[in-house]
Structures are given as structure tokens and as C-alpha cells.
Amino acid sequence: MSRIGKLPIDLPEGVVVSVTDTNEVEVKGPKGEIAQKVNSDIKVEVIENQVIVSRPSDEKRHKSLHGLYRSLINNMVVGVSKGYTLQQEFVGVGYRAEAKGQILEMSLGFSHDIHFLLPDTVKVEVKQERRSNPIVTLTSIDKQLIGQVAAKLRSLRPPEPYKGKGIKFVGEQLRRKAGKAAKV
């Protein structure tokens, strides 16, 4: 049996899960609501204060879908109850960021500023103090979406291994290279 798939999902207080006829799971909580379409082979049931995901057979495809949908539903439950937060640090001379509503305006060493439009469900906050790197904090109830937005931001200026300049996650350890050796 799938080790992840067979675990029941405990619902915290204030979170309501409903399954429609078209096998769409809707999760509502204090921070918002989110919906996910589930494969028709996978069965999702809400029993008392738990969500149970089951599969029809031990086929390899069913096993993989079982664990996948259980994890997706669990991420939705955690998202509407606690939410998700990711922090990214802009390391480099002259790198700066500024949030203007749903638009993140960044200066990353290119000849022009970059204006990045964020989805409605992702909130952004920028902390920029003198003599320190700007830190961009992304907050959302959707784990998939916030991860995708963070990856897209990082792809604008990935961290390089020699000086460590670029956009990196806070607390991330970068593998550094020595660079060119001096002549003796």
C-alpha cells in the first residue's frame, strides 16, 4: 500500500472539505478556499473530521495517483488553515525590489527594471534596509502556485557559484567555487 496515500488527513477546526459529483475536492477555511480536480479512479471521502483517499486496485498508476492526490489535498488543507510563506534574498550590488500592489518592481543589474505581475492569490512584501540585501516574502494559500512564482523569480537571476550573486531562498546554502587560481 502507498505509505503516504493510506494516511488520513485530519481537518483542523474551521476547515470544511466537500467532494462534488465530478470528483472535484473543494476546501474552505479561514484563509480562503481552493479547489482541485481529482482523477475519476481515486475515491475521496470525508468521514467525521478526516479525509480518506482510496484507490480501486494495486496497479502502478493507481498507486502513484493515490499518494499524489492525498498530498495535494493535504497541502490544500494546510494552505487554507495556516498558509504558506517563502522568502527570497536578492544578493548583489545595486539589487533592489519594491512592491506596488500585485506588481513586483526589481532592479537586478540589467539595463532596465523588471516588472513582475503576481497572481491574485499571492501576496508580496519587501523588506529592504540599508546595508543589507532586500528580502522578498511571498505568502499564499496555494503551495503549487507560490512555488511556481518563487521559481520564476529565481530564474530571472539564478545564484552563480563564484560570488554568490543572484536570487536565492533565505537560508539556502550555495555551493561555491574557488575561481581562477593566481599565477605563481
Cβ–Cβ < 8 Å for 39, 65:
yes
φ and ψ at residue 66, rounded to 5 degrees: -60, -55
Same domain, 103 and 157: yes
Q: At what angle do helices 60-81 and 143-156 cross, to 10 degrees?
A: 90
The whole domain housing 147 covers 84-169
Residue recorded with cell 477555511: 29
pTM of full prediction above 0.95: no
**Whole-number CA gyration radius for the chain:** 21
Same domain, 43 and 93: no
Same domain, 22 and 39: yes
Q: Is the pLDDT of residue 129 over 80?
A: yes
In this structure, which amino acid lies at residue 132?
S
Q: Is 184 part of any domain?
A: no
Same domain, 146 and 70: no
Whole-angstrom Cα distance, residue 147 to residue 141?
11
- Average pLDDT, rounded, for the chain: 92
61, 81, 101: which is the final residue of a domain? 81
Helices (H) and strands (E) in the chain, counts: 2, 13
Same domain, 54 and 111: no
Angle at 135 between CA 114 and CA 101, to 5 degrees: 55
The per-residue pLDDT for range 72-127, each reduced to its tens digit, is: 999 999 999 999 999 999 999 989 999 999 999 999 999 999 999 999 999 999 99
Which CATH number characterizes residue 15's domain? 3.90.930.12
Q: Is the pLDDT of residue 1 over 50?
A: no
Q: H-helix or E-strand containing 77?
A: helix 60-81
In this structure, which amino acid lies at residue 4?
I
40, 65, 81: which is the final residue of a domain? 81
The percentage of residues in the chain with a pLDDT greater than 70, rounded to a whole number, is 97
Whole-angstrom Cα distance, residue 94 to residue 11?
46
Same domain, 75 and 94: no
Read off the pLDDT of each residue in 142-163 and give the average, rounded to a whole number.
Answer: 95
Domain count, the chain: 2
21, 56, 81: which is the final residue of a domain? 81
